[in-house]
Homo-oligomer: A and B are copies of this chain.
């Protein structure tokens, strides 16, 4: 006999009395201790749907990781410290091995960041994972999209394009043909987490197991002005900062860090993948030029490359320049669910 709903929660998601929460799973609401004096609460929500954000048959362990990782990444890009999350999970049926693997991926990441599952909802339906996450950040220290200023340097962590390249290869392997690379935010038409197509190399891992840049986000609280995570694609996400901050920017394509996997590819494809491909979950941020040395030192301390790729300008619009300072023609590319 399949597990019932309450037994399912007990067996897979309730790990006993709450550790940090005042009241965890099992009541009408969870209770969390207030944030420390001088801090505010950061809240974010994401929803992942089978066939849209990941392939049917996606590896449940990676899915458990990724569903939480994208939410941790949202907190990281605000400079917020993760504290707790809720999970709303719709499942077509109770599949115990699937649940055991999903749980493993989810809790392994949650435990690394001491972020506690405190409640949620479980129901039958098309496989859907919706996580809401709660964190804390000192008042006034949050890295908002609307805080960029003309003259700021534009920085990005890590390297870009690997996740979009994995999406592209999986599409080709699964016979989906020509794809629009650049549908970030895990939003390729069902592409993330398929372990059947493509093999598990580093690009696959970047796509399926993104590493939320939590430590970077925390350290940037007093170094950066604006920040966002690269989920829709570098150009689209920088566009969000420009729009909210009412400024423009110039990017230098030769300075954009490209994933090693992209090296053999033609430049036009590398540009599409690194500039318009999403899903890398690196942090894109702006900082005053006087903080350059401190930002570089931070990159060394975290053992995470931080590349200075452009500058914020007064006015509006985004120009991407090639090695000779000529303007590149780039499709905007950011993914939109309803276009």
Contacts and interface: CB of A to CB of B under 8 A. Distances in A.
Interface of A: 2-6, 8, 22-23, 26-35, 37, 39-47, 49, 51-53, 73-75, 77-78, 80, 84, 86-91, 93-94, 118-126, 128, 130, 132-135, 137, 139, 142, 144-146, 187, 227-229, 244, 336-339
A41 B121 CA distance: 18
A301 to B, nearest CB: 23
B119 A338 contact: no
Nearest to A1: B339
Contacts of A124: 52, 337-338
Contact of A121 (B35, B40, B46, B93): B46
Among A51, A119, A229, the most chain B Cβ lie within 10 Å of the Cβ of A119
Nearest to A133: B29
Contacts of A52: 123-125
A208 B331 CA distance: 46
B43 A119 contact: yes
Q: Which of A3, A49, A53, A91 has the most CB of B within 10 A?
A: A49
A29 B93 CA distance: 32
A45 to B, nearest CB: 4
A43 B74 contact: no
Contact of A44 (B73, B78, B91, B119): B119
Contact of A29 (B42, B87, B119, B123): B42
B47 A123 contact: yes
A124 B47 CA distance: 10
Contact of A134 (B39, B43, B75): B43
A312 B44 CA distance: 40
B26 A337 contact: no
A110 B90 CA distance: 25
A196 B139 CA distance: 50
Contacts of A338: 2-5, 8, 91, 93-94, 122, 124
A336 B9 CA distance: 12
Contacts of A89: 47
Nearest to A146: B27
A125 B50 CA distance: 9
B34 A41 contact: yes
Give me the 10 closest cross-chain CB pairs, A-B, nearest first: A132-B132, A47-B88, A49-B125, A29-B44, A130-B130, A45-B86, A32-B41, A29-B42, A28-B74, A28-B77
